[in-house]
Amino acid sequence: MTNTEKATTLIELVKHYSPSGEETSAVDYLIQRMKDLGFTKAYKDEVGNAIGVMGEGEKQIVLLGHIDTVPGEIKTRIEGDTFYGRGSVDAKGPLSTFVDAVASLGQVRGWQMVVIGAIDEERESVGARHIVDKYRPDFTIIGEPSRWDRITLGYKGSAHTQVTARREMAHSARADETASEAAFAVWGRVQAWADEVNTDKKRAFEQILVSLRGLSSGDDGFETWASLQVGARLPVDISPDDWYTKLEELAAPESIERSGFAIPAYRAERNTPLVRAFLKGIRATGGKPGFVVKTGTADVNIVAPVWGCPAVVYGPGDSNLDHTPNEHISLEEYRKAVDVLSEVLRNLTKSVS
């Protein structure tokens, strides 16, 4: 069987373009694909996630990937060993790896393996937030790209805030501070504080990374206002509440308003049966295992702290291609990732009773 034939799940899933909010076609395909591959059951849950279950044992492994992508359809095509398409890396490649690896293993006495193609990860993670209270797995694997021979152990947290300054209208000839000047003064204080915190931290994963995501201003004839959209990528030792408390101090007397969902950082333990199974699986497939941590945020940040079980993030593909117009994946790498994960699941279900 060629690499292209072995990647049927991936190729066909990517053909179903599914930006956040438009996942239905891809979800329907994946459910049918899991049925065709012999999953015990496959269905769509209440919010639209694709759920596939293999086996009926009391012990459980949840393999959580996301089926939505960022907008921007890329014409699917294969050039040699390379497959191009939106989501081929982020993150239908990892999700398809889960499906094919579980299908290759089949049912294992005493174990239930649950593959979830979650919706809306690229926005507010509606899919992951829905399932977080519905499972209590023994092991969790989250699907995001980091290459077939590496394991991701951590993701930074995130928080988004709108800072607004307001001032009475005044003639431009006067020297009074404007709302825009006040807002930018806040941004200057935020940058200076972040630089101070990061002084002795060499790794980006350990730093707080602040960014100015947007700005706007206006007036109603009596009052002027200026708003900044401030984003923060948080290290493990700064919680969202810590960040908001500090930002209120830095922004005073201006107002702040929290936006969306704040997510704390997450870092997994290295010495667990799950990590050891991945090390063994990567070596058995001819690779030299590596560990990475990421400066982004993923569904692992949402589910792993609640589930409290060993968790890692795994999947083929180069994460530098996430969200790019040139998104593509090596079919050979995809095959190796399926082989690795199949070996991981085989060893894990044998060694843990």
Q: Using one digit for the tens of pLDDT, what is the confidence trace for 31-51?
A: 999 999 999 999 999 999 999
* Cα distance between the two ends of the chain: 34
pTM above 0.85, yes or no: yes
Confidence of residue 246 (pLDDT cuts 50, 70, 90): very high
Average pLDDT score over residue span 300-315: 97
| Residue 197 token pair | 């915190």
Q: What is the pLDDT of residue 189?
A: 98
Average pLDDT score over residue span 11-21: 98
Q: What is the pLDDT of residue 351?
A: 73
Contact 50, 44 (CB under 8 A): yes
Residue in 23, 68, 138, 343 annotated catalytic: 68
Could you tell me which residues come within 8 angstroms of residue 113 by beta carbon, excluding any fewer than 6 positions away? 53, 54, 55, 60, 61, 63, 102, 105, 345
Confidence of residue 3 (pLDDT cuts 50, 70, 90): confident
Q: Do domains 3-155+266-351 and 157-263 have the same CATH topology?
A: no
- In the sheet with 223-234, reading across from the earlier edge strand, the strands are 209-219, 223-234, 157-168, 255-263
Summarize pLDDT for 199-209 with one digit per residue, the tens.
999 999 999 99
Lowest mean pLDDT of 88-102, 166-180, 328-342, name the range.
166-180
Could you tell me which residues come within 8 angstroms of residue 310 by beta carbon, excluding any fewer than 6 positions away? 139, 140, 268, 269, 272, 273, 274, 275
Residue in 23, 100, 120, 121 annotated catalytic: 121
In terms of pLDDT, which residue wins out, 200 or 172? 200
Domain boundaries along the sequence of the chain: 3-155+266-351, 157-263
| Three-class DSSP category at 274 | helix
The CATH architecture annotation of domain 3-155+266-351 reads 3-Layer(aba) Sandwich (3.40)
Q: Considering only CA atoms, give the Rg of the chain.
A: 23
Q: Please tell me the distance from the alpha carbon of residue 310 to that of residue 166, in angstroms, as a whole number.
A: 48
Quick check: is 223 catalytic?
A: no
**CATH number of the structural domain 157-263:** 3.30.70.360
Q: What is the pLDDT of residue 258?
A: 96
Q: What is the pLDDT of residue 175?
A: 62
Confidence of residue 320 (pLDDT cuts 50, 70, 90): very high
DSSP 175: -
Average pLDDT score over residue span 323-352: 95
Asked if omega into 265 is within 30° of 0 (cis), the reply is no
Q: What percent of the chain has pLDDT over 70?
A: 98
Confidence of residue 172 (pLDDT cuts 50, 70, 90): low
Q: What percent of the chain has pLDDT over 90?
A: 93
Q: Please tell me the distance from the alpha carbon of residue 232 to that of residue 208, in angstroms, as a whole number.
A: 7
| Three-class DSSP category at 89 | coil
Scanning the structure block, which residue is given the tokens 């996430």?
322
Specify the long-range contacts of residues 104-107, CB closer than 8 Å, at least 24 apart.
104/338, 104/342, 105/54, 105/342, 105/345, 105/346, 105/349, 106/38, 106/54, 107/40, 107/54, 107/55, 107/56
Quick check: is 333 catalytic?
A: no
